[in-house]
Amino acid sequence: MNPQDLLRHHRRLFLQGLCVPVHIGIHDFEQAAPQRIVFDIELYVPLRHTTPSQDDIQEVVDYDFVRQVVQARVAQGHINLQETLGDDILSALLAHPGVAAASVSTRKPDVYPDCEAVGVQTFRMKPGVGEG
């Protein structure tokens, strides 16, 4: 099942362009100072569990949770690979009981002068997702 198929029974929440300084990289020039990492994150949450009836934040998955997950991982210290950073964040997002699937994209906009960014995107869903 792909992310578009999930939209039949799920709501897609997203944060786009979350820019965070991160100590990341394997090259000597990357180890001296933090680099800008831009995150694009999507969460798929079941409609049956996140359709508010009282217009209350407690009835949905709060966007603040996503930002907190990113900040908590970045605060743990230097990360060599974008793949590790994205996978760690993805695992933490999927640990939330209200999240059925998620996608995490990370990109470094300042690595090469001849391209916009280098990055990685990973999508995962919990077992049983997409079944009615």
List pLDDT tens digits, range 90-120.
999 999 999 999 999 999 999 889 999 999 9
> Can you spell out the DSSP letters for 59-126?
GS--HHHHHHHHHHHHTT--BS-HHHHHHHHHHHHHTSTT-SEEEEEEEETTS-TTSS-EEEEEEEE-
Q: What is the pLDDT of residues 40-98, one digit of tens each?
A: 999 999 888 778 788 888 777 888 999 999 999 999 999 999 999 999 999 999 999 99
Q: How confident is the model at residue 23 (pLDDT cuts 50, 70, 90)?
A: very high
Which residue in 67, 89, 85 sits closest to 17, CA to CA? 67
| Res 40: pLDDT | 98
End-to-end CA separation in angstroms for the chain: 13
Distances (CA, A) of 119 to 27, 41, 97: 16, 13, 28
pTM confidence score: 0.88
Average pLDDT, integer, range 27-50:
90
Cβ contact 121:105 at 8 Å = yes
* Percent of the chain whose predicted confidence (pLDDT) is above 70: 93
Retrieve residue 12's tokens. Answer: 């897609």
Q: What local confidence, expressed as pLDDT, does residue 42 receive?
A: 96
Distance of CA 26 to the CA centre of its chain: 22
* 132 pLDDT more than 50: no
Domain 3-125, CATH number (from 3.65.10.10, 3.40.50.2000, 3.30.1130.10, 2.60.40.10):
3.30.1130.10
